[in-house]
Structure 1
Amino acid sequence: QIHSLRGNVGTRLSKLDNGEFDAIILAGAGLKRLGWEERIQELIEPQIMLPAIAQGAIGIEHRTNDVITRKLIDKLIDTTTQQCITAERALNARLEGGCQVPIAGYAIINAGEIHIQGLVGEVDGSEIIKANLQGSVTSAAELGTTLANNLLEQGAGRLLQKCLDA
């Protein structure tokens, strides 16, 4: 059976350790950031299960008028990651996704093109709608939005509304 699991990472791991769950799925990136790599038993590849939007990417916020900090941050920007995340976030924005809705997205760049996959599902996994698209890296946001529209045309809006109504 699949059950909902809420709380921070420590709380979720405690519930596993206390026998409330036989297994749990957490973001590997989060466990690594917290220094808990030893808790990872298996990494699930995106071909098997798409991750949450922008999973594993680190965002940095700064004061808008702080030019010095901005110059330091600019050195950290990975253009490939930024283009992929732009596509994924556009997908999520068009679907009006939040942390409580079953939306997944994953983009990679291959041979100068973004390949993006998207998914909307029932909370219990009983129905899943998937789509994918590829196009120019210069159109990352447009690709994400177009992919979201494809998912909506397949009925994703109905699934998202059911989630919000629950």
Structure 2
Amino acid sequence: MTSLSSTTSNISTPSRSIRIGSRKSQLALIQTYWVQQELQKHFPHICFEVQTMATQGDKILDVALAKIGDKGLFTKELELAMLNQEIDFAVHSLKDLPTRLPEGLVLATVTERENPADALVVHEKHKDKQIDTLPEGAVIGTSSLRRLAQLRHQFPHFTFKDVRGNLNTRMAKLDAGEYDALILAVAGLQRLGMSDRIHQVLPIEVSLYAVGQGALGIECRADDIEVLSLLKAIEHVPTRDRVLAERAFLRELEGGCQVPIGVHTQLNANTLALTGLVASVDGKRLIKDSVIGAVNNAEQLGIQLAQSLREQGAQEILEEIFQTVHRG
């Protein structure tokens, strides 16, 4: 991960240590320590300390994510700590951060995005296969309704099975033969030093990625001008523009991170192209559309695309999903 250069001479030395909040998972800590190191490069005279805590999503590992209630599943405890002045900001995988934040908190900075695509990771016996040549009935592990819906749409002959736990746990289950393949985020595998396990990067024709996937979002108190100023040093503006459009799309559809909503964004000079989809969990209905416009109008583009999909029937699909999940 790289950061934009920044002029920092106009930022005064803070009167306190800056406390960074993080989940305890291996991936969360790798991401948080990267942010800590980047800030330390810009501000060597400031002390940045990391404080860890477990979130609800970390504690409940035997229930499908969609059935727990996804709003703030991996963020709520960190947000309470910020509001209680126990930490000064929190580092999140941006795909886990709800689009509506608690009053008093803001998305302060977005870092440069890693590859946001999904990856196919296979059992050794399928190393000569790709996603479209895996055998009928192959057991595919994923905890994401977004991935599940798109793959069911493309490959109804596969068997899909939920998989939870940290990445090492999931890999062990795969290698033990519980699954024929897993679908995971390319970015997470890269950050954990597991790039060699990426068997195939799924093309967007197969799987649009999650809103914000591959980027880190840093959340802090809205009134903490000092910390807000520091965090701007590691913001990556092109990534921010892309994810603002994606998050506006998701927010307008009122979908949490555990609904089958996928996106793809592309920047070309001052133009932003945004593709989005909503799918039924069984994969039988999939509504996809695209918009293109000025990058300085990113959020409005997201809203425009959401309204277009809603007019094509997306709202009906989402309502059915919420009713099914909450009944289940």
TM score, norm. by length of structure 2? 0.48
Write the distance in 2 (CA, Å) between the matches of 1:123 and 1:9.
24
Aligned partner of 1:114 in structure 2 is 272
Aligned partner of 1:138 in structure 2 is 296
Letter in 2 for 1:38: D
Question: For structure 1, which runs of at least 5 residues remain unmatched after alignment?
Answer: none
Q: Is the 8 A contact 1:105 1:119 kept in 2?
A: yes
Aligned partner of 2:116 in structure 1 is none
Aligned partner of 1:5 in structure 2 is 162
Q: Is the 8 A contact 1:5 1:12 kept in 2?
A: no
When Rg is computed on C-alpha atoms for both structures, the one with the higher figure is: 2
CA shift at 1:31, angstroms?
1.5
Letter in 2 for 1:140: A
Q: 1:41 aligns with which of 199, 205, 213?
A: 199
- How many positions carry a matched residue from both structures? 166
SS of residue paired to 2:182: coil
**Aligned counterparts, 1:65-144, within 5 A:** 65-144=223-302
Greater per-residue strand proportion: 2
CA shift at 1:109, angstroms?
1.1
- RMSD of Structure 2 on Structure 1 (CA): 1.7
Aligned partner of 1:60 in structure 2 is 218
SS of residue paired to 1:117: strand
Write the distance in 2 (CA, Å) between the matches of 1:9 and 1:123.
24
Q: Deviations over 1:106-151 (max 9, x none)?
A: 2111131110000001113222100000011111111001100111
The percent of aligned pairs where both chains have the same amino acid is: 41
Question: For structure 2, which runs of at least 5 residues remain unmatched after alignment?
Answer: 1-157
TM score, norm. by length of structure 1? 0.90
